[in-house]
Amino acid sequence: MALNRPLMQKAASEPSSPRHRGAGAAQLDGHSLGLRRDSGSSSGAGSAACLPEEDCMKLNPSLLGIALRSLLAIDLWMSKRLGVCATEESSWGSARPIMKLIEVSGHGLPWIGGTLYSLYKSDSAAGQEVLLNLLLALILDLILVGIVKSLVRRRRPTHNKMDMFATFSVDRFSFPSGHATRAAMGGRFFLNHLVLAVPLRILVVLWVFIVGLSRVMLGRHNVTDVVCGFIMGYLQYSLVEYMWLSSANLQRLLELCRFK
């Protein structure tokens, strides 16, 4: 809101011109109704009277805009307060090694490495089918997160110490959290494809949430990066289920690869 003040003063300093007064009123109505700024202005005077688009937008923030700005402010405030392990000097700095261990548990390398190793060791067709689909899911996750990060380009919190191991260049951006997408997708994958006793199922769900929380506590992410990461990972699993490759199809795919 503070940013808008000079613009408001600018508008207030030009009230003598009916051109500007008229345009301002038209903008208020047009913007709040979601209309284009020049819609309905058949005369040249109408369009010439408009303030530059950016000025108009800032003068008349929509309700949605205000709500988003407030959410963002709450997000930044909460993330800063929860970033208690961001450095060794932070209030919970001594818990940083544990948080970093949790970080490793959700990193792409151990997940992909572990899946490849299990695939190599597996001797049942059913096991190989599940593991190959998990591998494809993990690759899909890296691609989708990379695309969204490079589109949104949200910077990591200022209190983050960038000491993560094995990152891609897009990982300088924070939205969404790749650990959160992987944890949510991997968690759903395990719950659906492994026969686990109830305590272990609870442990999987707990691990997903702890990975997400650790991202904020380490100062790597804002809360919204993690929440949206969870949602994205959850949906990614549905996509994986939808595109599930049966062992017969995988066999055909492997044969195709062999012919090439």
Ligand X SMILES: CC(C)=CCC/C(C)=C/COP(=O)(O)O
- Give long-range contacts, CB 8 A cutoff, 24+ apart: 71-80: 71/224, 72/224, 75/222, 75/223, 75/224, 76/157, 76/222, 78/223, 79/157, 79/216, 79/219, 79/221, 79/222, 79/223, 80/157, 80/159
Between 31 and 179, name the residue whose CB sits nearer to ligand X: 179
Q: Does 58 bind ligand X (CB under 6 A)?
A: no
| Token reading at 6 | 């000079």
Quick one: 120 exposed, middle or buried, by C-beta within 10 A (0-12, 13-18, 19+)?
Answer: exposed
When CB distances to ligand X are compared, the closest residue is 108
* 107 in active site: no
Residues in Cβ contact with 84 at an 8 Å cutoff, skipping those fewer than 6 apart? 90, 91, 92, 93, 95, 217
Between 58 and 179, name the residue whose CB sits nearer to ligand X: 179
Which of 171, 210, 245, 247 is close enough to bind ligand X by CB under 6 A? 171
Which of 31, 96, 188, 215 is close enough to bind ligand X by CB under 6 A? 215
Q: Does 167 bind ligand X (CB under 6 A)?
A: yes
Residues facing residue 173 across a β-bridge: 155
Q: Does 107 bind ligand X (CB under 6 A)?
A: yes
Q: Does 164 bind ligand X (CB under 6 A)?
A: yes
Between 168 and 244, name the residue whose CB sits nearer to ligand X: 168
Which of 28, 66, 67, 109 is close enough to bind ligand X by CB under 6 A? 109
Q: Does 79 bind ligand X (CB under 6 A)?
A: no
Q: Does 238 bind ligand X (CB under 6 A)?
A: no
Q: Does 152 bind ligand X (CB under 6 A)?
A: no
Which range, of 66-74, 88-96, 167-175, 235-243, touches ligand X by CB under 6 A?
167-175
The interface with ligand X within residues 172-191 (CB under 6 A) comprises 177-179
* Separation between Cα atoms, residue 49 and residue 21, nearest integer Å: 9
How crowded is the C-beta side of 207, counted as CA atoms within 13 Å? Answer: 22
Residues in Cβ contact with 19 at an 8 Å cutoff, skipping those fewer than 6 apart? 45, 48, 49
* Separation between Cα atoms, residue 167 and residue 182, nearest integer Å: 15
Which of 24, 30, 83, 108 is close enough to bind ligand X by CB under 6 A? 108
Q: Does 154 bind ligand X (CB under 6 A)?
A: no
Closest among 24, 15, 95 to 55, alpha carbons compared: 24
Between 91 and 167, name the residue whose CB sits nearer to ligand X: 167
Between 26 and 173, name the residue whose CB sits nearer to ligand X: 173
Instruction: Name the residues annotated as catalytic.
Output: 179, 221
* Interaction site with ligand X (CB under 6 A): 107-109, 112, 164, 166-168, 171, 177-179, 215, 220
